Structure 1
Amino acid sequence: MSAPFAVIGAGPAGLMAAETLAAAGHAVVVFDQMAAPARKFLLAGRGGLNLTHSEPLEPFLTRYGAAADLLRPAIEAFPPAALIAWAEGLGQEVFTGSSGRVFPRAMKASPLLRAWLARLEGLGVTLRRRHRWLGWDGAGALRFATPEGEQRFVPRATILALGGASWPRLGSDGAWAALLPGVTPFRPANMGFRVEWSAHLRERFAGEPLKRVALTFAGETRRGEAMITRDGIEGGLLYAASAALREAIARDGFADITLDLRPDLRRVTLPGGSQSLANQLRKQARLSPVAVALVQEALRAGAGRGPAELVKALPLRLTGTQGLERAISSAGGLAFGHGLAVPGHERVFACGEMLDWEAPTGGYLLQACFSTAVAAARVALGVTSARSG
């Protein structure tokens, strides 16, 4: 009997690679350094697990920017429709929201993960927890640090699904980058940004949402929602532009954006008179308290515009990014080609967020993780079958 396949990493990419291999009739062992699998996947599902997006494939692929052509074969071979069918096959009915995003009806990851782990167990997949990958020994065996000491494993082939470097406390700490060549340093993606708020705004409005606003940067305008934090601003509105904003800050030391606090209005008129500015903004422009505070903060900073103008074009300077410990995902990672093979290592393939690509939130992150996992497993199956034959 041939040796089992090894999958290193028990996040969504690793588990999908394991399922693809096991469904083809092969023994599979999944190794993970954490005590429980898919911890980041579970965290992502707390507020609603966004599996994928319903937009047509061509605009879908553009969300991956420079990596779109490299990811195209994997996503075309396992597209959103296939991911939806897979989830429903686990008894998780899905629905498409008004934004086009696709979610399980349960709106969380735990029911799907329980059903998935049960399926994997039924397919004979073995999960070895608390196994931290250390690389290879001189003979090519996989090395692992475990509570019982170092262990070695000789697989038929290996799928690496080690994750990126965001939320490292959940297992994806990026430490594996020291073990492989061709790794671009990790940077935060889909993260919040730093703003130098006044003490009043920071203390009074941290945690307050900005709903139905628009952000303009470098000639592009997006609508969405954001949230004020103690040290800045975060949320889907920022995540959609995070790559461009991050690069501007790296280049210039800052990024200047403009917020439209009432994008549904062509213009705002304030009556003046004895009524306080805060009341005018609240009653006439119908701004929330946090939006009123932003206008007042800009006026105190000498924005050079009147209150009505600021409602429609509020300048905001972003001075830095949140770190990887709070970012939803990461940019950078292992360089890859269409075959997902790891250079310099025979029968070793990589998938998921450890690869050098990034995408905005909206279902694109998980879709690429699942699609590259299926692709890596299929390539591994083809290579090992051809050589054994």
Structure 2
Amino acid sequence: MHDAAGRALSAERVEALVIGAGPAGLMAAEVLAGQGARVVVAESMPTPARKFLMAGKSGLNLTKDEPAGIFATHFGGSAPGLRPPPGYLDMKEFGPAEVMSWAQGLGIELFTGSTGRVFPVGMKASPLLRAWLGRLAGQGVELRSRWRWCGFQGEDWRFETQGGEVLLQPRAVVLALGGASWPRLGSDAAWVPWLAARGVGIAPFRPANMGFHVAWSAQMARHFGQAVKGVALSAGDLVSRGEWVVTARGIEGGGLYEVAAVIRDGAEAMVDLAPDLGAEELARRFAQAPAKLSVGNRLRRVLGDPLRAALLMEWGQPLPGEPERLAMRAKGLRLRHDGPFGIERAISSAGGITDDSLGPSLELRALPGVFAAGEMLDWEAPTGGYLLTGCLASGWRAGLGAAAYLESARR
């Protein structure tokens, strides 16, 4: 390879290279630096952790304070129903308690909500990221922005930079390039062919933590942008009591994301519009509603919410006249959708580097000294603290693996 003047490029030697400055990559860099490695972080975007900052705009949900065993059941690979989580996401090693301790170590005060979700008191991601980058700089970590990895040149690693193409010759590498969701924020999966050509197994990417298209009738337009509250959404063996939102495109939101993976994989979704009432009590209330009321007003009075009544009228037609059957319909309303949103609108992605391509320390079997973390790996988890904790946990393990590789090479 030659520079703009035609001179042959020589590769810069780097001890530890992390490619990708999202949560997984920054955690790997922190662990490596903590073990005494000289670390360079290459990030394709102008600033680090853009997706992390975007996710934290409405309140940074760091983790969920619940026992590691229960926490782990929310993780799986892209194969439907895969349990337990892959070994690289061992929540007994780096789980909710460790994430909370780590954030507090950055000087971030936390609080735990009524559902167990853990947030910074200030709710924002930016103060945590500033503190984190400051600590990394203090450890000697060098962040190189607008450095885009563009494949291999023999055994060297090629980068496009503002100053032209550059070659690096690292002793150990941690890849944390993200999956295929939100490509405008940097996760475009451009790395797939380069690793596949080196013998790394990669499962196809699919959307995760995504909404679903719904072809609404004109009557639903008045409810666009409103949150569905106080319902239970079930699919497969999963049940969610979280909120979700009706939009012009369909439905989306945290309560839906908890069960989105199994819906995407073919499970039928059902909505209980009155989960705190038994069918018999709900039927009694329907029977007692004044007969002079219109159907819509009767439903609104009994269900206590215009949006829940609108969903029953939208998805429950033809509505049964008998109170008992109407109650059963309201408590077992089929969620009608037209498929998931595309991966470009998904919060995260399923698929990626397969388990059989990874060693226990997240080293790529086909590329000794190269480790991978975050959404590049074949796992998925819902939002609500699970997804972010998984990214941090895999970055932590990959960082430890890379540090151990460097140490063994020194002997």
Q: TM-score higher than 0.5 here? A: yes
Which residue, out of 109, 118, 127, partners 1:93? 109
1:199 corresponds to 2:218: yes
Equivalent in the alignment of 1:16: 27
Distance 1:42 1:219 in 2: 32
Post-superposition offset of 1:16? 0.8
Gaps of 5+ in 1: 249-254
Q: Which secondary structure does the structure 1 equivalent of 2:104 belong to? A: helix
**Maintained 8 Å contact 2:34/2:139:** yes
User: Quick one: which of 67, 77, 91 aligns to 1:56?
Assistant: 67
Q: Give 2:274's aligned residue.
A: 262
CA distance in 1, matches of 2:341, 2:271: 20
Query: 1:185 matched to which residue of 2?
Result: 204
Over 3 Å counting, the alpha-carbon distance change for 1:220 and 1:154 in structure 2 is closer
CA contact (8 A) 2:43 2:148 kept: yes
**8 Å contact from structure 2 (residues 173, 369) kept in 1:** yes
- From the superposition, tell whether residues 26 and 215 of structure 1 become closer, same or farther in structure 2 (CA, over 3 Å): same
**Any idea what SS the aligned residue of 1:320 has?**
coil
Is 1:167 the counterpart of 2:182? The answer is yes
The CA distance in 2 between the partners of 1:72 and 1:56, in whole Å, is 18
Q: Report the alpha carbon displacement of residue 106 of structure 1 after superposing the two structures with TM.
A: 1.3
Following superposition, the deviation at residue 341 of structure 1 comes to: 1.1
- 1:34, distance to aligned residue in structure 2 (A): 0.3
Pairwise CA distance, 1:220: 4.5
**2:363 counterpart of 1:341:** yes
Q: Is the 8 A contact 1:9 1:30 kept in 2?
A: yes
What are the Cα deviations for residues 344-376 of structure 1, in whole angstroms up to 9, with x where unaligned?
A: 212100011110000112211111111111111
* Pair 1:136-2:152 in alignment: yes
Match for residue 343 of structure 2?
324
Contact 2:273–2:303 under 8 Å retained in 1: no
Would you say the 8 A contact 1:61–1:72 is kept in 2? no
The one-character-per-residue Cα deviations of 1:188-216 (angstroms, maximum 9, x if unpaired) are 11111122211331x22211111010123
Tell me the secondary structure at the aligned position of residue 184 of structure 1. Answer: strand
The structure-2 alpha-carbon separation of the partners of 1:345 and 1:106, relative to structure 1 and needing over 3 Å to count, comes to same
Among the aligned pairs, what percent are the same residue? 50
Judged with a 3 Å threshold, the aligned counterparts in structure 2 of structure 1 residues 243 and 14 are, in CA distance, closer, same or farther, namely same
Of 236, 261, 264 in structure 1, the residue corresponding to residue 254 of structure 2 is 236
Give the secondary-structure state (helix, strand or coil) at the position aligned to 1:165.
coil
Report whether the alignment pairs 1:278 with 2:290: no
Distance apart, 1:92 and its partner CA: 0.2
Q: Which structure 2 residue ranges, 5 or more long, are not aligned? A: 1-12, 77-81
1:370 aligns with 2:386: no
> Residues of 2 paired with 1:34 and 1:175: CA distance?
14
Residue equivalent to 1:32: 43
Distance apart, 1:120 and its partner CA: 1.0
Name the TM-score, length of structure 2 as normaliser: 0.87
- Whether 1:247 and 2:269 are equivalent positions in the alignment is no
Q: State whether residues 215 and 259 of structure 1, in contact with CA within 8 Å, keep that contact through their aligned partners in structure 2.
A: yes
| SS of equivalent to 1:92 | coil
- Alignment: residue pair count: 378
Structure 1 residues 305, 358: CA separation in 2 closer, same or farther (over 3 Å shift)?
A: farther
Contact kept in structure 2, 1:74 and 1:375, CA below 8 Å: no
1:147 aligned partner: 162
Give the drift of 1:339: 2.1
Deviates more, 1:49-58 or 1:271-280: 271-280
Structural mapping, 1:349-388, within 5 Å = 349-388=371-410
Contact 2:71/2:91 (<8 A) preserved? no
Distance in 1 (CA, whole Å) between partners of 2:235 and 2:49 is: 35
Deviation string, structure 1 residues 116-162 (Cα, Å, up to 9, x no partner): 11111111111111111112211x11101122221111112100001
367-376 or 262-271: bigger deviation: 262-271
Question: Which residue does 2:92 correspond to in 1?
Answer: 76
Amino acid at match of 2:385: G
Aligned residue in 1 for 2:310? 293
The one-letter code of the counterpart of 1:156 is: R
Amino acid at match of 1:40: K
Alpha-carbon offset, residue 308 of structure 1: 4.0
Q: Which amino acid aligns with 1:95?
A: F
Task: Report SS of the residue matched to 2:243.
Answer: strand
RMSD: 1.9
- Whether contact under 8 Å (2:59, 2:124) holds in the other structure is yes
Is the Cα contact below 8 Å between 1:331 and 1:358 reproduced in 2? yes
Quote the offset at 1:67 in angstroms: 6.3
Q: Select between 308-317 and 50-59 the one with higher mean Cα deviation.
A: 308-317
* Offset, 1:24: 1.8
Which residue in 2 is equivalent to 1:251? none
Are residues 36 and 312 of structure 1, via their aligned partners in 2, closer, same or farther at CA, if it must alter by over 3 Å? same
Inter-CA distance 334–27: structure 2 relative to 1 (3 Å threshold): same
Separation in 1, partners of 2:384, 2:249: 25
Aligned residue identity for 1:78: F
What is the distance in 2 between the residues matched to 1:388 and 1:29?
A: 19
User: Out of 15, 26, 34, which is 1:4 matched to?
Assistant: 15
116, 119, 129: which one pairs with 1:113?
129
Match of 2:343, SS?
coil
CA contact (8 A) 1:334 1:355 kept: yes
Amino acid at match of 1:155: P
Shift of the alpha carbon at 1:69?
4.7
Amino acid at match of 2:182: W
Equivalent of residue 311 in structure 1, options 330, 333, 336:
330
Q: 3-state SS of the aligned residue for 1:15? A: helix
